[in-house]
């Protein structure tokens, strides 16, 4: 257990579904308040934080394909949903007294600034939390891939995946009571076993850049900070 954060700069990946709470759609303000309170606590410990949030609580591009529609259009709609979530996260952080900025891979200058590495470096240097929106800016890539890409570009020490369960399991523990939980596992083993941690492109990108992926449950208050301090329940995916 550490008395100071194990990592100096991290990328926190949140699913859009995490923001729904008990709702079937949209954003639960209480959940946003809890998650951003954890981010604020981590920020005040001196951790530099980037955040990538999905858009599945508002729109999932794959649903367009399932209905026989165009994948590119569906993914573009999903990117817009991530911008909505990112603006919500930024507003909640600013309301708590933490400077934050949204940088999007999809240019929309009336709403927020466009991502460049230079802009992100400047925002970190200014002491801001950065919310990276718009995924990679390209269709056919998930926000998991966007998170791994930003973590690599920004030289993050770890990619923190806040998810529905408290680590990586051999199977879905909600469906299979015999599923085994891993304390540590390698990127290569995740890929070889086909484990549903992040999509394969994201895991491969993290592996190739030697970025550990820390998988933890985002549903418990304080879990993000606990993991940063080495006392939380999580699985570490190692190079």
Euclidean distance between CA atoms 37 and 231, whole angstroms: 18
Residues 146-169 have a mean pLDDT of: 96
Model confidence band, residue 49 (pLDDT cutoffs 50, 70, 90): very high
The pLDDT score that the predictor gives to residue 164 is: 85
Per the model's pLDDT, the better-predicted residue between 205 and 65 turns out to be 205
Look at phi and psi of residue 175 and say left if phi exceeds 0, alpha if psi is from -120 to 50, else beta: alpha
The pLDDT score that the predictor gives to residue 201 is: 96
pLDDT, tens only, 103-142: 999 999 999 999 999 999 999 999 999 999 999 999 999 9
CA distance between the termini of the chain? 22
Residues 195-217 have a mean pLDDT of: 96
Q: How many CB atoms lie within 10 A of CB 127?
A: 10
Q: What is the pTM of this model?
A: 0.95
Q: What is the fold, at CATH topology level, of the domain defined by 9-238? A: Carbamate kinase (3.40.1160)
pLDDT, tens only, 53-89: 999 999 877 677 777 888 999 999 999 999 999 999 9
Distances (CA, A) of 143 to 53, 54, 96, 202, 223: 7, 6, 26, 9, 22
Tell whether the model's pLDDT for residue 3 goes beyond 80.
no
pLDDT, the chain, mean: 94
The pLDDT score that the predictor gives to residue 2 is: 59
> What is the domain partition of the chain in residue ranges?
9-238
Model confidence band, residue 1 (pLDDT cutoffs 50, 70, 90): low
Q: How many CB atoms lie within 10 A of CB 30?
A: 10
Euclidean distance between CA atoms 117 and 125, whole angstroms: 12
Strands (DSSP E) contained in 100-157 are 100-104, 113-114, 129-133
Cβ(94)–Cβ(130) under 8 Å? Answer: no
Euclidean distance between CA atoms 213 and 203, whole angstroms: 8
Residues 85-110 have a mean pLDDT of: 98
């Amino acid at each position: 257990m550490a008395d100071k954060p194990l990592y100096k700069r991290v990328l926190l990946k949140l699913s859009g579904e995490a923001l729904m709470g008990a709702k079937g759609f949209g954003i639960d303000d209480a959940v946003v308040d809890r998650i951003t309170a954890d981010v604020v606590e981590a920020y005040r410990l001196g951790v530099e934080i980037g955040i990538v949030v999905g858009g599945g609580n508002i729109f999932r591009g794959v649903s367009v394909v399932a209905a026989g529609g165009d994948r590119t259009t569906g993914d573009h709609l999903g990117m817009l949903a991530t911008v909505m979530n990112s603006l919500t996260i930024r507003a909640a952080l600013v309301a708590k007294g933490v400077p934050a900025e949204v940088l999007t891979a999809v240019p929309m200058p009336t709403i927020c600034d466009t991502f460049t590495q230079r802009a992100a470096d400047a925002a970190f240097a200014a002491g801001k939390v950065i919310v990276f929106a718009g995924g990679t800016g390209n269709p056919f890539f998930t926000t998991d891939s966007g998170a791994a890409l930003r973590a690599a570009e920004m030289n993050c020490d770890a990619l923190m995946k806040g998810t529905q369960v408290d680590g990586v399991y051999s199977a879905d523990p909600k469906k299979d009571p015999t599923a085994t939980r891993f304390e540590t596992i390698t990127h290569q083993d995740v890929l070889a076993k086909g484990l549903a941690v992040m999509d394969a492109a994201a895991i491969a990108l993290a592996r190739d850049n030697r970025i550990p992926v820390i998988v933890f449950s985002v549903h418990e208050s304080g879990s993000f900070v606990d993991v940063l301090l080495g006392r939380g329940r999580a699985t570490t995916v190692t190079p």
